[in-house]
Structure 1
Amino acid sequence: MPTVVSPRPVASPSRTHYAPSGAAKKNGAAHSIARPTCIPIQTHTLGAHDSIVEAAVRYVAPHLQPGDVLVVSEKALGCTQGRAIPVANISARPLARLLSRFVTKTPAGIGLGIPETMEMALRECGAVRILLAAAVGALGKLLGRRGWFYRVAGRRASSIDGPCSYTLPPYNTCVSLAPLDPDGAARELSDALGNIGIAIVDINDLGGEVLGSYRLPISDRELMDTLRSNPLGQESQRTPFGIVRQPLEATLSPSTIEA
């Protein structure tokens, strides 16, 4: 069992409040509104042999302050759950090979556009659901509507990432699946780190979403606004954790805390 850690006390901590972007005018002069920062936390390369909770206690706990919120990469959580499957270990059925040919590839990544990722979608969601999603998606294309396939297939299908050259090895040759029970994982992390707010996030350079959370003191939209620059990165940074901190509480630079 990991050690339960209480955040380090600081003088007069302020309540977590996320101000909107922009500037405020006071006494006729423009003043920039202070915004929360996200401090990336570097770790070793996490894998199926690691516990996400133990990693957080080791790398994150020493830097926590009251009011902090911890964001966790969904891909890192999935990797610790054994949800990164080497492409070489995936045998795609003929249906997966057929369906993958009709997937539109985008700058966001491979998606289900190769037989191996489509095969994992069939395993995760079931062949019936994927076939129904394919039919609805085809109808959507005829009507000029996009995204219908994933609306039917669901989050487990949309969260599948294929291998790509810029991903941290050995995951550059893996198919990454959505983490299991992100809300439960967030709860375990919060309990181990002194009941702080936790969010499991799927972030890339094009946007993101909160997959699971616990004790989160702000809305998903406010959190995504803070993370819009993708501070955790998506290449070889090894920064699966980020501490979201208010400016008045910040005693750490927003630059990466190295392992």
Structure 2
Amino acid sequence: MKFLQSLPLLLALGLGLLLLWLEARHRLRPKSPLELSFGPWNLARNPSCYRINGLVCIGNPHAQMEVFVPELRAKPCLLGSNSLKDLKISTEVMPLHGDEDSRPDNYWFAYIVKGLKKTQARVSICIEGEDLEQRLDSLWVDIHWVNYGPFGRLKRRQGVLVPLKHPAPLDPEAAKWREGENCSVLAVPTHLLGVLDNLEEVLHKYASAILKPGDILTIAESPLAVIQGRYHHPSQVEPSALARLLCRVFHPTSSLATACGLQSLIDLVGPARVLMAWLLGALLKVVGIKGGFYRLAGPQARLIDDVTGSTPPYDQTIVLGPENPKAVVDLMAASLGHGVAVVDVNDLGRVKVLAASSGCDLDLLERALRPNPAGNANERTPLVVVRPRS
């Protein structure tokens, strides 16, 4: 009898210990402290040759750990509207270590990034062929590099998009507005966005001439996330046993239905929160309350886009939700002088306003965006202007 009385306490204690073990194992797993980012990239073009030069930056924020970078190479991939098989493309990576001279042949020798230090490399890509301006759209450069240290030997990769073509901003007089419920809506095309873009510059270039007093400019959440660099290749994810097990309970079309997709959420919020969200969500579902997992696991649970969930070349990556969208909309609204919102919209009529600047009419946004005027394929219209009907 006493055992039965103490059973709930024992179960709660066991669950607590399990959660602590999962969290400790997750946080203490060996990993490299090195961080890769991208400096300025520029394009020099003529009709038969494009030359792209860009900086790759590697930093070590760890105060004591020294990490080897024995390999680093760049793998370019061209995107265009026609066959590109006849184009010739060459790539060169030049080390730019501040304390060691690079070799004349640009061979990448094994280099040690010391604690709290940084190093760089210059990537040079030459594209040769006919009618490049008409045929090329973007360049995707995958940086493959190796980290070697106390954590072992890790193969890492990070991609960067270099736009090769920019559409002209819409002419306000020729813009084709769609009529909505007590409003007009305009989808605004841009170039394919990426981490090299400055959001404020993008908004001013493509939307500022169109905006009038009372307009609200909406930004799709996934393009904002890629500008923030919140995407990674699935090969960089190490699915845990928890991710491999729990991913099987999600609908096959969910971005959490793969081990790497769910592990990406675990890496953001921790395994303890994900497991508890699943357990409590299952209990809520039994009593008829759906969506409990997503509410308990946090907003990122709904925002992660797994492979194929984004426009190419991001369809090869896992795109997370944007970071701190409220701060983004407030900053952009102050710069533009108009209301700004970050939204998540799909073809099923679901509209989620992640953040909106002061004064935005949320009901108006939901009505205007329900038909998904930006589209859900490869329209490249991440911006939508909503104009209330006077």
- In the superposition, the TM-score normalised over structure 2's length comes to 0.51
Mapped partners of 1:217, 1:147: distance in 2:
27
More strand by share: 2
Q: Is it true that 1:86 corresponds to 2:228 in the alignment? A: no
- Of the candidates 147, 159, 183, which is equivalent to residue 291 of structure 2? 147
- Of the candidates 237, 246, 253, which is equivalent to residue 99 of structure 1? 246
Letter of the 2:242 partner, please give it.
L
Matches of residues 1-259 of structure 1 in structure 2 within 5 Å? 35-105=182-252, 109-164=253-308, 167-193=310-336, 195-206=337-348, 207-218=350-361, 220-247=362-389
Letter of the 2:241 partner, please give it.
P
- SS of corresponding position for 2:274: helix
Measured against aligned partners, the alpha-carbon deviations of 1:187-225 in whole angstroms (never above 9, x if no partner) come to: 1211221x211111011112011101113331x222101
- SS of corresponding position for 1:61: coil
Q: Is the 8 A contact 1:124 1:157 kept in 2?
A: no
Q: CA deviation at 1:144?
A: 4.0
More helix by share: 1
Measured against aligned partners, the alpha-carbon deviations of 1:85-118 in whole angstroms (never above 9, x if no partner) come to: 222332222221111112133xxx4221101110
Q: Is the 8 A contact 1:69 1:216 kept in 2?
A: no
Q: Is the 8 A contact 2:181 2:367 kept in 1?
A: no
Mapped partners of 1:34, 1:138: distance in 2:
38
Measured against aligned partners, the alpha-carbon deviations of 1:58-97 in whole angstroms (never above 9, x if no partner) come to: 1111222222110110111111001122223322222211
**RMSD of Structure 2 on Structure 1 (CA):** 1.9
Letter of the 1:221 partner, please give it.
D
Q: Is the 8 A contact 1:204 1:234 kept in 2?
A: yes
Letter of the 1:58 partner, please give it.
K
Measured against aligned partners, the alpha-carbon deviations of 1:106-140 in whole angstroms (never above 9, x if no partner) come to: xxx42211011100110111111101011112223
- SS of corresponding position for 2:249: coil
C-alpha distance 192-148 of structure 1, shift in aligned 2 (>3 A): same
Letter of the 1:103 partner, please give it.
F
Measured against aligned partners, the alpha-carbon deviations of 1:116-170 in whole angstroms (never above 9, x if no partner) come to: 11001101111111010111122234334321111211112121121227x3101
Q: Is the 8 A contact 2:231 2:317 kept in 1?
A: yes
C-alpha distance 33-99 of structure 1, shift in aligned 2 (>3 A): closer
Mapped partners of 1:126, 1:95: distance in 2:
11
Mapped partners of 1:120, 1:177: distance in 2:
8
Q: Is the 8 A contact 1:86 1:175 kept in 2?
A: yes
Q: Is the 8 A contact 1:125 1:157 kept in 2?
A: no
Mapped partners of 2:295, 2:329: distance in 1:
25
Stretches of structure 1 lacking an aligned partner (at least 5 in a row) = 1-31, 249-259
Report the count of equivalent residues. 211
Mapped partners of 2:284, 2:389: distance in 1:
45
- SS of corresponding position for 1:146: coil
C-alpha distance 227-146 of structure 1, shift in aligned 2 (>3 A): same
Letter of the 1:205 partner, please give it.
D
C-alpha distance 144-44 of structure 1, shift in aligned 2 (>3 A): same
Question: Relative CO higher for 1 or 2, CA cutoff 8 Å, sep ≥ 6?
Answer: 1
Mapped partners of 1:182, 1:34: distance in 2:
26
Q: Is the 8 A contact 1:137 1:147 kept in 2?
A: yes
- In the superposition, the TM-score normalised over structure 1's length comes to 0.76
Aligned to 1:15: none
Q: CA deviation at 1:247?
A: 4.2
Letter of the 2:276 partner, please give it.
L
- SS of corresponding position for 1:113: coil
- SS of corresponding position for 1:71: strand
Letter of the 1:217 partner, please give it.
C
Mapped partners of 2:289, 2:386: distance in 1:
36
